[in-house]
Every structure is written in C-alpha cells, then in structure tokens.
C-alpha cells in the first residue's frame, strides 16, 4: 500500500473567537485577518515539509486547492505542482485536484498540467474534482451545471492531450475556434487520472467506467465500501477489472516519538473536522449541484457530522490516526484490510500543528511506518 503526504496549507493565524462571529470561515470570514508576513513564512514552511516527505520515501505528494477560506491557502494546485516538480526528485505529484466545473479555459488547464508533468519528469497524477459548493459561490458559477461542466471540461482536456491540433471545440459550455496546445504531457497518452468522492454514486460509477483511481475522503468504512461497489458497477459495465491500485482512501494521520505527543498533535485535526466545515447548508450544497440520488446517499453517508464527533470518536472511527510509529502502522494495516485499497492518502498537517512536530512525523513515517507497510 502506497502512502501520500498531504497538507491543505492552512492559515490558522487568527483568534478563534473572531472566526466564531461569522456564519462560516469560508466566504464570510473577512480577509483583514490574513497575516501577509506569516503567510509568506508558511509557504516556505509547507514546501519544506513536502520536500522532506519526498526525501523520506512517501510514494506521492498530494496537493489541492480551495478559495476564500483560511482552511486552505493553496489557491493554485498547478502552480504548487510546478514548484514541487522542480524541488522534489522521486515522489509522484498527486493533484487532487483541479476544480473542473469552475474552469473557464480547459485548454489553458491542460497546458499547465502538461508543463508540470514535463518539469517533474513525468511524475504527475492528474486528479479532477467537482469541488464543494463554496467554490461555486466563489467562482459565481451555476451549480446546476456542475456535473455537465465537469464532464465536458474533462473531455476537452483529454482531447488536448491525446489528439493532434489544431481542432475546433463546440460543446454546450465551452467553445474554442482554435485548439492547438504546444505543451503536451511527458506521459503518454496522458498522466494517470484520479477522482475523489464522498457522496456521489454517479461519480463513482463514472470513474469506474474509465478505470480512474477513485478515492473517498473522510467517510466511514461502510460508506467507502458502498462507494467502491458503485465504482465496481461502472467498471463491470465496460468489462474493466478492479484492482487495489484503482482504489484509495484519505484520512488524517500523525505520528511522534511517544503516544502522548502524537495524541496531542492529532487534536489539531479537530479544527479541520469542525470550524472549517461550519456554515449554511446551501453554501456547501447549493440547490441543483447534487442529483436526488446523490442527496439521498449523502444523508445516509453522514448521519452524524464530523463536527459533532468528539476527538475520541474521530480516533475510534479512524477519521484520525495518531500514535507511535508501530501503532500507526498497525492502524494503517487495519484500513488496508477493511477496504482493500492500494493507496492511503494522509492529511498529515493541519491547523496549528507546528513545524517541528510535522517534520518529526514525516521522518518517523519514512523511517518506520513506510517500511512496515512495504509487504501490504
């Protein structure tokens, strides 16, 4: 089972009581609380942590993007990928990912991902996401068209990568008279494509039909298994075999020299589960963004919100894993046995977890946990 390092590059540099005065940290929390000097230092810190993860032996480095929120100030996944493409040497660069429904120029996105793949020597894993409702508001995009735009944007990017130009594209949402990108990915026919999911059966089936790697984020094991069954349904429709390499899972995880230190560090993930997800329902799930089937599945998948769970409950349900390297390796092996996955994505830094704690966790993962999982 392959491990991937991930940080949302948070900006938790403000008093929590200030954030509580607003309906949500996303969209509504004023950017006057943004500390420019601290943010500049944080970017250096976060990139240093990613570079150490590469050196420590992580199979991949996952990066994402969000907007108008202190929970994630990585606002350009392709920009970060290009930086890491130059400063790292071995790990795959997992872009999970580019938010396709809010993209107005898929040709430009195809070029940017290709450029990162070329700089990295062909290490890009290109994840495509539908995004959360917040991004629809941020981009002033119509949520009703979310899935249509996602699929058409995907189709145009793949055509850019695989069919010679010039050609013309006249779709429902995108119109280009002249498509002829002079920047194509090193990997042929294109970088591997990954798709995340939390509550959409349609997305799981769609990914299964195409053989893309599919990764549920922070859901209970039984929900992940159900989503994997939808994925297998899609794969079976087109005669594709499903192996562990097609399946991944994301959790939060940290290790330390002692259990007490690890548990103390792990508490920082509670901020990610609660305050960063607080807000009006229609901000996160605008009307029309989900199908009726997706809405019904989401209600079953989240009968209780992560924000309502205690730290002990989050640990018990494996949303957060925190312990010594031996304990963490055992729990990762348990996740592997439960889900049969080939990829485990670790949100490994969050909130106010400090730099030395994060670096030590990366070192211990590389020295003790990754070798212990080599036979899985």
Asked if the model's pLDDT at residue 301 lies above 70, the reply is no
Structure-token pair, residue 264: 């103390």
What string of DSSP letters covers 126-156?
Answer: EEEE---HHHHHHTT--GGGHHHHHHHHHHH
pTM of the entire structure?
A: 0.96
Which residues have CB under 8 Å from 198's CB, separation 6+? 216, 217, 218, 219, 298, 301
Terminal CA-to-CA distance of the chain, rounded, Å?
Answer: 5
**pLDDT tens sequence across 13-68:** 999 999 999 999 999 999 999 999 999 999 999 999 999 999 999 999 999 999 99
| 100-110 mean pLDDT | 97
Token output for 29: 């929390």
Cα–Cα distance for residue pair 272/304, rounded to 1 Å: 16
Please, are residues 59 and 39 in contact by the beta-carbon 8 Å criterion?
Answer: no
Residue 296 pLDDT exceeds 80: no
Using pLDDT thresholds of 50, 70 and 90, give the confidence band for residue 105: very high
Please name each of the domains of the chain with its CATH number.
2-372 (3.20.20.30)
State how far the Cα of 250 lies from the Cα of 70, in Å rounded to an integer.
21
Does residue 373 register a pLDDT over 80? yes
- Give the whole-angstrom CA distance, residue 350 versus residue 134: 20
pLDDT at 176 exceeding the cut of 80: yes
CB 70 within 8 A of CB 6: no
In the DSSP assignment, the letter for residue 306 is: G
Return the structure tokens found at 268: 């920082």
Closest CA to 60 of 124, 7, 113, 4: 4
| Residue whose C-alpha is closest to residue 286's, from 128, 137, 176, 158 | 137
How far lies 114's CA from each of 50, 149, 249, 351, in Å?
21, 21, 26, 32
Above 80 in pLDDT, residue 292? no
Nearest to 203 by CA among 293, 287, 299: 293
What residues have CB less than 8 Å from 117, skipping those under 6 apart?
85, 123, 124, 126, 185, 186, 187, 191
CA nearest 251: which of 341, 326, 325, 191? 341
pLDDT, average across residues 78-88: 98
Q: Which two tokens stand for residue 325?
A: 């390297």
Q: State pLDDT tens for residues 326-367.
A: 999 999 999 999 999 999 999 999 999 999 999 999 999 999
What residues does 250 pair with on adjacent strands?
Answer: 217, 345
């Amino acid at each position: 089972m392959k491990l991937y390092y991930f940080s949302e590059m948070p900006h938790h540099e403000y008093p929590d009581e200030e954030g509580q005065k607003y309906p949500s940290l996303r969209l509504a929390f004023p950017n006057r609380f943004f500390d420019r000097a601290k943010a500049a230092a944080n970017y250096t810190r976060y990139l240093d942590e990613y570079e150490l993860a590469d050196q420590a032996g992580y199979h991949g480095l996952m990066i994402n993007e969000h907007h108008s929120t202190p929970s994630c100030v990585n606002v350009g996944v392709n920009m970060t990928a290009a930086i890491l493409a130059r400063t790292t040497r071995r790990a795959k660069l997992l872009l999970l990912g580019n938010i396709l429904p809010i993209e107005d120029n898929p040709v430009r996105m195809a070029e940017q991902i290709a450029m990162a793949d070329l700089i990295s020597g062909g290490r890009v894993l290109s994840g495509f996401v539908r995004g959360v409702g917040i991004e629809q508001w941020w981009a002033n995009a119509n949520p009703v068209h979310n899935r249509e735009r996602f699929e058409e944007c995907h189709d145009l990017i793949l055509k850019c990568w695989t069919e010679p130009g010039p050609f013309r594209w006249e779709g429902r949402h995108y119109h280009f008279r002249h498509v002829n990108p002079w920047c194509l990915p090193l990997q042929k026919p294109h970088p591997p494509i990954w798709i995340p999911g939390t509550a959409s059966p349609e997305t799981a089936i769609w990914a299964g039909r195409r053989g893309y790697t599919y990764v549920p984020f922070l859901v209970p094991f039984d929900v992940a298994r159900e989503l994997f069954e939808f994925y297998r349904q899609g794969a079976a429709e087109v005669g594709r075999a499903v192996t562990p390499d097609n399946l991944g899972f994301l959790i939060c995880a940290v290790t330390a020299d002692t259990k007490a230190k690890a548990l103390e560090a792990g508490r920082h993930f509670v901020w990610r589960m609660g305050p960063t997800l607080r807000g009006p329902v229609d901000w996160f799930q605008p009307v029309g963004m989900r199908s009726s089937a997706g809405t019904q599945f989401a209600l079953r998948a989240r009968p209780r919100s992560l924000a309502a769970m205690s730290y002990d409950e989050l640990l018990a349900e494996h949303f957060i894993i925190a312990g010594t390297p031996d304990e963490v390796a055992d729990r990762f092996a348990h996740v592997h046995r439960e889900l049969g996955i080939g990829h485990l994505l670790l949100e490994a830094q969050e909130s106010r977890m400090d730099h030395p704690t994060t670096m030590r966790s990366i070192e211990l993962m590389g020295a003790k946990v990754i070798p212990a999982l080599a036979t899985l």
